[in-house]
Amino acid sequence: FASTYVPTEPETQASSNQTIELKPADSYPQFLAQPLSKVQNPKQSMDGASMHKALLDLGEAVLVYLTAVMFGEYRQSWQLNEDMEAEFYRNAKRKPSFGVFLGFLRRLSKVEGDSILDHLFQKKTVFEAVSQFVLVFDQLTQMINQGADENFQPELAKGLANRTASKKGLLQFYDAFITMRNNYAHPEDKAKNPDRKWPLGEDYYQIINPYVTNALEELIANINVLTEYKPVLIEGIDKAQQQAQAIVQTGSDSVANQINLQSQMVEMLQVDSHYLLDHQGQIYTRLFYNEVPALEPSIAQKIISREKAKMLEPVLKKMIHEFLEDDAEIDQDEYFTLQLTAQSADIHNDDLTHIITKCRKELGLEESFEIIESHQTQVRGPIFNGWWINYFLLRQGIAELFSENKISDVRKGKSEEVCSSEFFHQLIWTEITAYVKELKEQFLDDEIQRWTLLPNKWQMGKLTGYFWAQLFPEETPLGRVFSTSIFIHNSGAIVRYIPHYDKLRTISSSFKNINLLIESSKICAKFLDDNKDQLMNYEILIDGWQLSLIPEHKKEYDYFLNEFYPDYPKKYIQEFRLPSYYEKVHDLAKSGQYLIYEITWVSALNPTDSVYSNARKMIDECQEIGFETAIPRNSKELPVVISSRPDEVVKSQQLALKLFSSITSKITDYAIEQGLSEKEALLVERQYIEAKGGLTKLVKNKIDEVIVDNEVGADGYDALLQFVYENDFKFNDFLELKKEFEGKGIVFHDGSFVNEVNENDIEWLDICLDKFVNQYQERFTGLTDDKEKRVKEFQNSLHYSLKMRTDDMTAYLGFRITYDRCIFAMLRIEGHWKNPGQLNAFMFWVSDKTGWTSVDKKGNYNLYLTGRKPFSIEKQIKWPGLLGSDENKEQLDIILLDLLHEWENAKTGINNLITR
């Protein structure tokens, strides 16, 4: 606490007859200067209501600013307070209101810690104008609650004549101020005897405005910190020079400033954040203006586990009361909805039963109950119109008869012309948007979290071919990183849990890991595990990726996996229907080895429904990859069936929204525990861009250090990778530097393979392969081999090998060679793009077998398999010898024989996996 401001007896100044003059608005922080200037220099035409609003804005700005200062002091140097941290968590998922900030100011005034604002909370600190305002407002409130609506002055004078203003301080001012503010914002039923609107008229404003003005001016004038400590916005940080580029934000102007930083501040400072400068122009503390600090990660898990169930219980009780309104019973669908909601706070079934029992008692119902079968109740809530699907089907049918442009081009001004195609298309968008908005308000929004609805536009030059709406939490650290989307189109209606892949990659890049993706997948798997019996009644698809494709013992992937992992839809990701998911990868998902990326809930489809069975056959036979595996394009009947079940669509979408919102809530809690946020990630990204030039020079110098005779040896390359990682240089940027050095003739012994060796080496390789073929001729089937093919394959694919074919797979058995003449015996198996069933089979083969991974033709590792071109897996075994050496040559035959045996097993094993 290096430079605490010590005021010069502010309590004496405030309570003496001396008047401390308010300084011009330009002397104060910009956050206050604008509302203050409206009060100090009002426009001539400003009426009482406008002045009252300006005073409310100024009072709120002062409170938020004081809280911002104390938030910074608390986070920087005060002892952790669990009650305070609990409040941070309670407000982490919503935009804090004025009342929330006032509550924080009260709490901060009681928490142990030194503050430059301590004098404001001492009992002897009183303000005369504040005391007078509190008295007048109280007297005026009494009069209004006794029926007065106008002509207040005579009665007010009589009432005040019999009262004396008691001494009031800052918090007492805001106790009265917030009531006055609420009366202005929500005047309905605020006045009593009789209940009526608060009388917001000129009589009211003429009485109260001068007292509010005097009180606020007195407060601001006596808080010297407002002018002596300067707020700044950090625009850049030069760590090497220990300097920060900042904008001083006082008055109406912003002035650039350079700040010399103390060493401990260099790492603590964040770009695009506000700070407070002390008298010496040094950073005093962070300024959390109009924001609440994040929950302290060291105690986050403890706070969340303690508080979330408390926060969620009122939400559950409200839902239970609504379910009991119709028939005093809770059916299976309603109970499943409650379960999904409760699981977001780890509320178990026994606890949920206890809450239901309490609600029944509150409503005067018998406490004991049973969950009844799902049944139709009175219509309430959102109504799905099956015509929406039929409309998209109709457009598709017309498009098949005419050029698509004739029905999709948007004609200017036609959207207002009744019966035009543009008019109907926009009408459909308006109706569906209203439906989704009602879904959001009924099944997502609650006291803890509100959600944002973001639909696509009905036209983008052409009429949009499908409706898509994103739903994501309004105020969370992760923003739109994880969202729920509702699609309505000519194939039906689906709800999908889906990450925003660009934003997810930004977070992964900034924090140098994929932990958020791994943990989000585990959370999905936990919900799928806890609700398996209920979810099996619905058509649900899981898209994901297996971590087993990461090659072992490769430092690039240990250090920089966040730059390699595949993201959808650029890369192929495995898709499973729910029964197959539970059978094949659920256990892997629970352990974090299979990563769930997306979950798709197909509305109004029951896998056991006889109407659905024929369409299911088409789905199973469908050879395309993507959503078409859920509802194939050649299924004409299925969308019609879905459109005829509007109640089932709403039911499916309600449950899907509850499942996906609960998953998102748990992911958000994890992000809060770990201190992850989209804002923080963007700041890190910006800092990297600013520092990239200096880092590039640093890495270049390191490369120069490890070059010996125009080469970077294997040990030097490993040291180089570690240096790049420890200095937060991106691997892809390092690869660009590496190319630059390779262009100058520098060879990096990074384990890459070559496609050129001398004639003697080719002869040595041919002898090895020919000898092996002659020795085990009877075990080779489908061999297509000669020296010319070997050399050509070596030049194109960087492996010198034998080629073997079956009807649907190709294998290469041979060698890969590195720059330093190391030899890797290899077995490479290629699949065929016309047989996408092999993709999953290859994935499972890699998962089950040791040493296999996905490698492209040139030996570069792939962390995905693609179904759009030939895909392959490979196993490599390093031979303990160098190219051309006869030492340990017999061991090379043993390795090749082992790999040949692997090929014999793979031919049968992979086909068995396809069948399974």
DSSP assignment of 121-172: GSTT---HHHHHHHHHHHHHHHHHTTT--S--HHHHHHHHHT--PPP--HHH
Q: What are phi and psi of 236, to 5 degrees?
A: -165, 155
**754: in domain:** no
**255: in domain:** yes
**1: in domain:** no
Residues 744 and 616 in one domain: no
What pLDDT, on the 0 to 100 scale, is given for residue 124?
86
Range of the domain at 328: 297-362
Which residues neighbour 714 within 8 Å (Cβ) at sequence distance 6 or greater? Answer: 749, 750, 751, 820
Residues 809 and 712 in one domain: no
What pLDDT, on the 0 to 100 scale, is given for residue 870?
62
CB 32 within 8 A of CB 226: yes
Strand ranges (E), 818-897:
822-830, 852-855, 861-862, 872-882
Distance CA 188, CA 195 (A): 9
**11: in domain:** no
Distance CA 132, CA 42 (A): 23
Pick the last residue of a domain from 181, 207, 226: 226
Distance CA 446, CA 427 (A): 29
**292: in domain:** no
Label residues 123-143 b or e (16+ Cβ within 10 Å = b): eebbbbbbbbbbbbbebbbeb
CB 700 within 8 A of CB 694: no
CB 467 within 8 A of CB 429: yes
Chunked mean pLDDT (size 10), the chain, 916 residues = 37 47 91 92 81 96 97 94 95 90 95 93 90 96 93 92 91 96 93 92 94 96 93 86 89 85 80 90 92 92 93 95 91 95 95 96 93 73 91 72 52 65 86 97 92 91 88 93 94 92 93 95 98 94 89 88 79 80 94 94 76 56 40 62 89 96 96 92 89 94 96 95 96 96 95 93 96 94 91 93 91 94 95 76 87 83 65 91 90 95 93 76
Task: Provide the terminal-to-terminal Cα distance of the chain, rounded to the nearest Å.
Answer: 67
Pick the last residue of a domain from 718, 748, 778: 748
Cis geometry, peptide bond prior to residue 194 (ω within 30 degrees of 0): yes
What pLDDT, on the 0 to 100 scale, is given for residue 909?
92
Which amino acid, one-letter code, is at 807?
D
DSSP assignment of 252-265: TEEEEEEEEPPHHH
**344: in domain:** yes
Residues 485 and 339 in one domain: no
Q: Is 474 helix (H, G, I), strand (E, B) or coil?
A: coil
Angle, in degrees to the nearest 10, between helices 297-327 and 646-674? 160
What pLDDT, on the 0 to 100 scale, is given for residue 3?
39
For residue 601, what are the β-bridge partners?
Answer: 495, 540
Tokens 């005579």 — which residue? 154
Element (H, E) at 234: strand 230-238
Residues 418 and 548 in one domain: yes
Which region, left, alpha or beta, applies to residue 216 given φ > 0 means left and ψ of -120 to 50 means alpha?
A: alpha
**457: in domain:** yes
CA proximity to 769, closest of 741, 788, 790: 790
What pLDDT, on the 0 to 100 scale, is given for residue 408?
58
Residues 211 and 247 in one domain: no
What pLDDT, on the 0 to 100 scale, is given for residue 777?
92
Residues 557 and 597 in one domain: yes
Total domains in the chain come to: 6
**372: in domain:** no
Which tokens sit at 163? 């009262």
Element (H, E) at 452: strand 451-455
Distance CA 796, CA 801 (A): 12
Which residues neighbour 129 within 8 Å (Cβ) at sequence distance 6 or greater? Answer: 211, 214, 215, 217, 218
Q: Where does residue 442 rank: exposed (0-12), middle (13-18), buried (19+ CB within 10 A)? A: middle
Residues 868 and 899 in one domain: yes
Q: What's the distance, CA 741 to chain centroid?
A: 38
Distance CA 484, CA 657 (A): 7
What pLDDT, on the 0 to 100 scale, is given for residue 464?
86
Using CA atoms of 184, 190, 191, 197 in order, give the dihedral in degrees to the nearest 10: 70
CA proximity to 850, closest of 914, 907, 905: 905
Q: What's the distance, CA 333 to chain centroid?
A: 29
CB 492 within 8 A of CB 631: yes
Q: Which stretches of 495-554 are DSSP H helices?
A: 501-511, 515-530, 532-535
CB 517 within 8 A of CB 564: no
Pick the last residue of a domain from 205, 226, 247: 226
The pTM (predicted TM-score) of the whole model is 0.86
Residues 256 and 317 in one domain: no
Distance CA 737, CA 742 (A): 9
Which region, left, alpha or beta, applies to residue 553 given φ > 0 means left and ψ of -120 to 50 means alpha?
A: left
Cα distances from 246 to residues 75, 290, 436, 454, 849, in angstroms, run 21, 19, 44, 35, 56
Distance CA 117, CA 72 (A): 12
Which amino acid, one-letter code, is at 706?
V
Tokens 């409650």 — which residue? 338
Residues 503 and 592 in one domain: yes
Q: What's the distance, CA 900 to chain centroid?
A: 47
Residues 400 and 549 in one domain: yes
Cα distances from 545 to residues 122, 652, 833, in angstroms, run 60, 26, 19
CB 838 within 8 A of CB 910: yes
Residues 707 and 665 in one domain: no
Using CA atoms of 749, 750, 755, 756 in order, give the dihedral in degrees to the nearest 10: 0
Residues 629 and 509 in one domain: yes
Q: Where does residue 873 rank: exposed (0-12), middle (13-18), buried (19+ CB within 10 A)? A: buried
What pLDDT, on the 0 to 100 scale, is given for residue 467?
95
Which tokens sit at 99? 């009342």
Cis geometry, peptide bond prior to residue 569 (ω within 30 degrees of 0): yes
Task: Give 374's DSSP letter.
Answer: P
